[in-house]
Amino acid sequence: MFNIKGPLIILAGAGSGKTTVIINRIFYMVNYGDAYSGKESSNDITKEMIEKFKESEECLDEYLKSKITVKPWNILAITFTNKAANELKERLSKKLGENSQSIWASTFHSMCVRILRLHADKIGYTQGFTIYDSEDSKKLVRDCCKIIKVDDKLLPYKTVMGEISRAKNELKSVIEFKIFVHNDFRMSKISEVYGLYQKTLEESDGMDFDDLINNTVKLFENYPDILETYQSKFKYILVDEYQDTNHSQDYLVNLLAKRHNNLCVVGDDDQSIYKFRGATIDNMLNFDKKYRNTSIIKLEQNYRSTKNILSAANTLIGYNIHRKIKKLWTEKEIGAKIRIHTAFNEYEEANFIADMMKKYIEEGGNAYSDFAVLYRMNSQSNVLERVFVKNNIPYRMLGGVRFYERKEIKDIIAYLSVINNPSDSVRLRRIINIPKRAIGDRVVNLAVEVAIEKNLSLLEVLAKAEDYDCLKKSSTKVEGFVSLIKNLINIKKSGKLKLSKLYESILNDTEYIKYLESYGDDPRARVENVKELSSNIIKYEEENGEEANLSGFLEEVSLLSDTDNYNENVDAVSMMTMHAAKGLEFKNVFLPGFEEGIFPRFQAIYKPEDIEEERRLAYVAITRAKENLYILNSNSRMIFGCTSNYKPSRFIKELSSELVEKTKSKDWKKLNPEEDEPRSAYELQLKSTISARKFNKITGGITTEPGNNFRNNLEFGVGDKVKHALFGEGEVVDILDSNGTILVIDFLKVGIKKLAPQFLSKLSLDSNSSLSAQKNRDFCARLVRKY
């Protein structure tokens, strides 16, 4: 806390008050600086001064303060969400007053935007570059896939988007990625999309979230003088939630900290749950190896949960091997045992949750806002919602359709973005026919081709449509749209109208409200959303005063995350995924779906490191609870239209028996009088594939609809070589239910696919298959890498 020199890692367990630690550390740096290890002293220290110092810092004379304290503008504090950054700013303001205004406290992305707005011209962008949020990026990737003719069934655009983001997180350029994957057909296709996607972004003067980090790194590496400026400025760097950093973020921090080496990172490796976003737990685990003479501080006292909840969390996470050893403790009471309930199916599970909530409410001392239901997959919320509606239980979902992702809001934001950055061709394409202007897709596509060929922006091409033979016939229709956009751009450039008035001009000039009133379902709600956006703009103007501008507003909107809008004062049950719940806390927590194949998910059970990630997620979910924790599992559950039996999650068995209290559904007991535990398709599948190469016909699994009772007549087993008419040759790597009705195949050309066996033919062992011994070895290598 007091030693501010050199690298420091603070291992802050769940609920240990790490935000308070960061704030106090900054407070002491500004007020006392390096007094802890410094040798400076006043010349005339008296006993009276020492006694006075015990009560107040006022005894520090100006000479001593000038020697040891840290200037606020030399401090950089990085967090992961806007909500956390705003909380940091507010609490620093209360402790430091005006001094807090000079501290850079922001998210990674906000910090990079601030730097790039000053220097973007150095790397080929304008200072008014556009930021593409995740929805914009998703749409652009889909468009690029269509242009390159990538079959979405063979290569889903979400997979493509994930691989592009992963490449960027690893700081791989388009060329480097292409070289890296040149021998892989599937990844080579992705590299083509990556190239077109990046080219389109750059031509539109746009950056996605990954580019904000990578382009800052690029700026620093290409311009050492600029890097040196920021290294000199940021003498003391603090990073919160360090376990969530990816390679590019870690590399950026390393660049900034390299000169002074005064880097403090705060985090909890046991809460590293964002591997799917590119986060790597190794940044946390290897910090003390990377930075020599690292000091290590552990924060193990929890101020949130009862002793029983913490004991359960400690027991569970203790099964992980790759972690920094720590053990949470609390001064709070022992509290209630963890309730583990086994339901007959997902409906009984949801009804049990609803009944318990109503019971707590009736007994008094609880509001609906004291309850949270956290699940592994979004699809689990469907039954819960239906049951809550039936029982008149108010709820709100974190992770539903966010305000800024609604169509009407995206439309208006697109108009604002084009006005701010006329080169933004992606958003220009979105609004060219909103409202309807009879400008067909064919015309737009032709204009895009001309823009690419002539190295012009789409707006520049449309403005001179009559100069191009392919666009002459449509030039009259296009002219009206171009005139509208240019007029709005001129209004913005003149600076005569405030942002809120410019917004009104867009609505009036485009007749967008009139368009909404005649468009689609629930026009009233859409109009109200557009008016609500006006309120947000006015609020932004009030908060930023004379500095409020269009570029700043768009930047703020693009960097918003779902949890930034979380309001704990709404009296409703909170429903969200376990990932979304990180950083939140609730008096009473329900965790449905603790079953093998659901949590941990099927895809994780083959890799120890993935099981450890799933266990960390369970640890995060458990430590959200303050007083009461319910863990639920179902004997059977319908997922994606198929009903299967499931075995209780291994995470339930890993909890100490003295900490839990188990109950079972009456329906389950009645229908399974001789069984102590439900049988599972997963368990039977696993036993059969281990004991024999062929998959045995066994009972269980999909049992609901007649159409689902198709039997695996060919008796495919794990390891069988198969052939598909479209995908070619592959190997069975998994069977997702006991009847063998869903097979997981790893195909040589297209990778992992899930298929019904009737679409496959089995290859005999002595057939002239292209899966030769050498290819088998390659196949296994690919399996380890991809699956």
Q: What is the pLDDT of residues 257-308, one digit of tens each?
A: 999 999 999 999 999 999 988 999 999 999 999 999 999 999 999 999 999 9
At 44, the pLDDT band (50, 70, 90 cuts) reads low
> For residue 160, is pLDDT > 70?
yes
Per-residue confidence (pLDDT) for residue 115, from 0 to 100: 96
pLDDT of 735 > 90? The answer is no
Q: Which two tokens stand for residue 532?
A: 């609500």
> Regarding predicted confidence, which is higher, 518 or 447?
447
Tokens of 535: 């309120």
Write the CATH number of the domain with boundaries 681-786: 2.30.30.390
Positive or negative: CA dihedral 760, 764, 768, 773:
positive
CATH code of domain 403-556:
1.10.486.10
Is residue 671 very low, low, confident or very high in pLDDT (cuts 50, 70, 90)?
Answer: very low
Q: Is 17 annotated as a binding residue?
A: yes
Q: Determine the average pLDDT of the residues in 617-642.
A: 91
Q: What share of the chain is helix, strand, coil (3-state, %, to 5)?
A: 55, 15, 35
Token code pair at residue 212: 């904000």
From the candidates 81, 200, 271, 510, which is the catalytic residue?
A: 271
Rounded distance, CA 124 to CA 113, Å?
15
Checking if the pLDDT of 681 tops 90, the result is no
Most confident of the ranges 157-166, 314-323, 771-780: 314-323
The answer to whether the beta carbons of residues 174 and 449 sit under 8 Å apart is: no
Give the amino acid at 658: E
Q: Which two tokens stand for residue 524?
A: 């009233």
**Which pLDDT belongs to residue 2?**
67
What pLDDT band is residue 516 in, cutting at 50, 70 and 90?
confident
Q: Report how far apart, in Å, the C-alpha atoms of 553 and of each of 131, 538, 544, 557, 603 are.
A: 11, 10, 10, 6, 41
pLDDT at 58 exceeding the cut of 60: no
Separation CA 9–CA 288 (nearest Å): 8
**Over the chain, what is the mean pLDDT?**
84
| 16 marked as part of a ligand binding site | yes
**Regarding beta strands 642-645 and 743-747, do their DSSP bridges make them parallel or antiparallel, or are they unpaired?**
unpaired
Is 331 a residue whose pLDDT tops 60?
Answer: yes
CB 330 within 8 A of CB 646: no
Angle at 314 between CA 313 and CA 317, to 5 degrees: 80
pLDDT > 80? residue 764: no
Q: Between 476 and 165, whose confidence is greater?
A: 165
5, 19, 233, 407: the catalytic one is 19
Q: What is the pLDDT of residue 182?
A: 77
Q: Is 13 annotated as a binding residue?
A: yes
pLDDT of residue 696: 33
* Token pair of 475 as six digits: 């030039």
Question: What whole-number distance in Å separates Cα of residue 53 and Cα of residue 58?
Answer: 7
Beta carbons of 734 and 602 less than 8 angstroms apart: yes
| pLDDT value for 385 | 87
CB 248 within 8 A of CB 273: no
Min mean pLDDT across 436-450, 588-602, 769-783 is at 769-783
Q: Which of 133, 163, 205, 241 is catalytic?
A: 241
Domains 8-33+69-120+213-303 and 309-325+334-401+567-671 share a fold: yes
Q: How far apart are CA 585 and CA 371, in angstroms?
A: 10
Q: What is the DSSP string of 542-565?
A: HHHGGG--HHHHHHHHHT--GGGG
Residue with tokens 């229908």: 671
What DSSP line would sit under 201-242, residue for residue? HHHTTEEEHHHHHHHHHHHHHH-HHHHHHHHHH-SEEEESSG
266: region left, alpha or beta (phi > 0 left; psi from -120 to 50 alpha) = beta
Q: Which pLDDT belongs to residue 35?
A: 64
- 50-64, 160-174, 198-212, 539-553: least confidently modelled range: 50-64
Write out the two tokens for 286: 């290897």
Q: How confident is the model at residue 236 (pLDDT cuts 50, 70, 90)?
A: very high
In this predicted structure, what is the pLDDT of residue 151? 83
- Which sign, positive or negative, has the C-alpha torsion 118, 122, 123, 126? positive
Residue 18 a catalytic site member: yes
Q: How many CB atoms lie within 10 A of CB 382?
A: 12
Quick one: how far is CA 198 from the chain centroid? 21
| Helix 550-558 / helix 499-510 crossing angle, nearest 10 deg | 80
Please tell me the predicted confidence (pLDDT) of residue 64.
54
Cα maximum dimension of the chain:
95
What is the per-residue pLDDT for 642?
A: 72
**In the chain, domain spans:** 8-33+69-120+213-303, 130-204, 309-325+334-401+567-671, 403-556, 681-786
Mean pLDDT is lowest, of 189-193, 284-288, 611-615, 699-703, for: 699-703
Cα separation, 692 vs 420, in Å, equals: 65
Q: What is the pTM of this model?
A: 0.74
At residue 70, does pLDDT exceed 60? yes
Q: Are the C-beta atoms of 648 and 633 separated by less than 8 Å? A: yes
- DSSP 8-class letter at 696: P
Architecture of the domain spanning 130-204? Orthogonal Bundle (1.10)
Give the per-residue pLDDT at 173: 93
pLDDT band at 200 (very low <50, low <70, confident <90, very high): very high
> Which residue type sits at 85?
A
**Is residue 14 a known part of a binding site?**
yes
605 and 596 in contact (C-beta within 8 Å)?
yes
Return the SS3 of 503. Answer: helix
What pLDDT shows up at residue 771? 47
Q: What local confidence, expressed as pLDDT, does residue 713 receive?
A: 44
* Known catalytic membership, residue 240: yes
Residue 695 has pLDDT above 50, yes or no: no
CATH number (3.30.40.230, 3.30.450.30, 3.40.50.300, 3.40.50.1820) of 309-325+334-401+567-671 reads 3.40.50.300
For the residues 245-260, what does the mean pLDDT come to?
A: 96
pLDDT beyond 80 at 675:
no
Alpha-carbon gap, residue 662 to 339, rounded angstroms: 6
For range 311-335, the mean pLDDT: 95
Exposure letters 77-87 (e unless 16+ CB within 10 A, then b): bbbbbbbbbee
Please tell me the predicted confidence (pLDDT) of residue 99: 82
Superfamily of chain region 8-33+69-120+213-303 = P-loop containing nucleotide triphosphate hydrolases (3.40.50.300)
**DSSP secondary structure letter of residue 601:** B
Q: How confident is the model at residue 700 (pLDDT cuts 50, 70, 90)?
A: very low
Average pLDDT over every residue of 679-690: 41
pLDDT score at 401? 57
Query: 412, 425, 426: which is closest to 511 by C-alpha?
Result: 412
List Cβ neighbours of 776 (8 Å cut-off, separation of 6 or more). none
Catalytic-labelled residue, pool 34, 192, 203, 240: 240
Q: Classify 637 as helix, strand or coil.
A: strand
> What is the per-residue pLDDT for 185?
83
Higher pLDDT, 772 or 636: 636
Tell me which residue has tokens 């895009």: 448
Distance CA 638, CA 403 (A): 30
H or E stretch covering 754: strand 751-755
- Contact 604/376 with Cβ under 8 angstroms? no
d(C-alpha 407, C-alpha 337), whole Å: 46
Give me the pLDDT at residue 60, please. 54
Q: Is 19 a catalytic residue?
A: yes
Is 241 marked active-site? Answer: yes
